[in-house]
Chain A
Amino acid sequence: MKLALFGGIYSNALALTEAIRDARQRGADAMYCLGDLGAFGPHPDRVFPLLHEHDIACVQGNYDDSIGNERDDCQCGYTDPRDNHFAQISYDYTLARTSDAGKRWLRQLPREIRLSVDGLRILLCHGSPRRTNEFLWESTTSTAFLERLCRQADTDIIAGTHSGIHWMRRLSGGRCYVNAGVLGRPENDGKTNVWYAMLRTGPDADRSDRMSGRPAWSVDFVPVSYDFRQLAEQMRQESLPDEFIETILTGWWTTCLEILPSRERRAGRW
C-alpha cells in the first residue's frame, strides 16, 4: 500500500492541490492529513472542499480544536511576546474566516487514526500519541523515548506533524517514527517548496526493506513545488503579516523561532 501523509496545511490550498496531484501520480492508495488545516495562510474555507472531494481522512490538530471550539488562541504555547503577537493575528483571521460548517467539521475530527496495513499497526496523530500539541524535534527527541511512545501506544509506526520540519527515525523491532513535515509553509531551509511523506508498506516497500522477515515499510519525503507567489499575493490581499509572506517567498522562518532547539535554529537564517 502507498499512504500519502500530509502534515499541517495552514490554509495553503495551492500546495495541498499540488500534493494531491503528486500523490495520485505516485499511485497513492489513500491520503491522510495529520491536522492543523487552518493558520498562517489565506482563505481557510478553500481547504475543506479539497479534503472532502479527495476523501482525505484527517486527524484533529491543536489549531483545529481551537477553531472548531472557538477558543481564545491556537494552543501553540509560544513564549515570546513577538511570536504571540503574530500567532494571534493569524488566529483571529482564521477564526473569523472559517464558516460554521467548517468549524462543526473541525470539532468532530478524531485525535488519532489507527490503521492496520500489510501486517503493520500505524498510528496517525498530530503532535505525539499522548499529546496533540507536543513538539517532537529531531535533535531533542531520544530514540529510547520514541520506543517508549510506540510501546505505550501499542503501534509499529507513529506518524505526526506539528513541528513543521520533516524527519524520521528507525527504531528497534522494525518500528519507526515519521514526522511528515507540513504543506503549509517551507521548512526554514531557504527553499520555497513544502513537504509530505509517502509511506509504502508490504509489496510496495523497497526491496531492501522487504528482506528483514518483518512486515515491511519504506518512507519517502516528497518535496512539493507550488505557486508560492500566488499564495503570497493572496496573503497580501488579505492583509496577513508581512513577516509570514516573507517566509513563503524566501523559505526562511521569521517568527516562532524561540521554540526551535539550537540545532534546528542554526539551520535557518534568523
Chain B
Amino acid sequence: MAELMLYTPVRLVSNELTYYLSLLLEVGVYMNGNSFDDAISEIKRKIGKKKVLIEPGDLYAYSLDASTERREAPGAIVRTYADEDVITTLKVADEKRIPVIPRGGGTSLTGASIPVVPKSIVLDLTPMDDIQVNIDDGYAMAEAGATVLQVDQACRNEGFFFPPDPASSRYATIGGALAENAGGLRGAKFGVMKNWVLAMEVVIPGGKKLRIGEPVLKWRWGPDLISLFIGSEGTLGVITRAWLRIYPLPEKVVRIMGVFNKLEDAGRAISEIRRRGYLPMMLELLDKETVDIVEEVLGYKFPKGEAMVIVDVDGPIEAVWRLARQVENVMKENRGKTETSDDPEKMKNLYLARQGAYAAVTRAYPSVLHEDITVPLSKLVDALRELDNLRRKYGLRMPVFGHAGDGNLHPDICFDPSDKAQARKAKEMFKKVGELAVRLGGAVSGEHGIGFVKKEIFLEEIKSVRGENYLELVRKVKRVLDPNGIMNPGKLWF
C-alpha cells in the first residue's frame, strides 16, 4: 500500500483516493517492472524499434505539456506512423496492463497529455498527419496528428475553411482538439469541434479498431458514439482519423471594435448583438486589466474604458457592411466608441489587444494560472463584476478576456511563484473562480478541458450539480471500453 501511495499524483483529491487506488490495483501494473519491459520489447519487435523511444533524453521531453505541471516521465514513447502501430500498442498494453497516454501537440493546459503514473507509454500521434479534402462530398479527412491549422489551410486552397480555431491551432492536432472538444474565436458562430465531425476511426484497448459515424452529411442511427469520444481526453481510446465538415470561405469579413466606459454597457451590447440575431463570427471581450497589461508590456496604446469588445461579421460583399453598421449601432446605443474596418492591416490593429494578451501576461509574470470558465450569457456582467471583486480581495492581477459570444471567459491569475503567500493566494483564487462559475450556472471548463489540473473542482461541480449516480454511470461506460483502465489514468473522471 505504501508503495502504491508513492505513485499517486500529488494533486489527487483525497475523496477520490479510494477510487483511484482501486483503479491502480485493478490495473495492477505498477508493481511489475518486468511486464513493462516485456511489453516494450514486444511492441518494438512488432512495429519496429525506431518508433519506440526509451532513452531518458527523449522521455523527459515528453513529461510536460502546456499546463507546465510535472509529474512522471513516461517509461516509453511510441511514435505512430500507421493504424497498425496504434493497434499493436493498445493490444500489448492492454494485455500487460500498461497505462497509455495518447498525445497530439501536447498543448493541453490542464496536464491531459502527460503521465501522472510511472511506467506508462506515451503514444505520440503527430507523425500521422495526412489530410485529404473532398469538396464534392463536403468533408476533409484528417489523420489524428494533422494540426488544426493544416486542415484549415488545406481547405482554404479549395475555397473552403475549417471553422474551429483554438488559439493553439498551429500545433494542436485534430486528435487532441476532438479529445478536448476544442473551440476558438469563431465559436460564437460556428461552435466547437463536436459540431464539425461526421465520422471518426478509433482504436480501443485490446487493439480493436472501430469506425464511428459516417462520412456523409446526414446519418441518423444512434446512440451516437462520436459524442462519447468527444472531450474524452484520451481516456476511452485513441482517435486515429476523422472526417470533418468544412464550410465555404466567407466573401468578406468586417471587424468592429467598441470601447465601453462601463462593463454593464459592454454586457448589454453583447446580449443585444446576440438577441438581434446578427450571429457574428467572432465576439471577444477584454477587460481593462487586460488592455492595461498589453499596453504596459508591449507598448501599444488603446482607447480607454472598462471593456473592449471586438466583433467580426461576415457575409456576401453586398450585405456585410449593412450588418457591420447594425453591430456598430448597437454598440453606440450602449455608449460604445467604435472603429470599423475591412482592410486587413487595420483589422490586425483592431485585434492587437486581444492578439497580444497571452504574450503580455506571460512575459510580465513568471507564473500564470489560466482559468477557463463558462457562464450563461445573461450572467456575463455579473461574472465580470464578481471577478473584479475577487481581484480586489486577493490583491493579485487577473486580466480577464475571452469569447464573450459564448460566455467563455479566461481569467489569468498572475503571481510570483517565489513568493509563497502569493502562490497560495493564487491557488485559492483559482478555486474561487471555478466556484463562481458553478454558482452562476456555468461550467469550470469552457475549452481547456479537465486533465488532472482541474479534476478536483470538476468532480465537485459534477457531484453538486448532477449527483453521484452520474459519476457512476460514466465510470461504467469507461469500464466497457477500457476494462483494465489503461487509457490515460488520473485524468478527467478517472
Chains A and B are bound partners: no
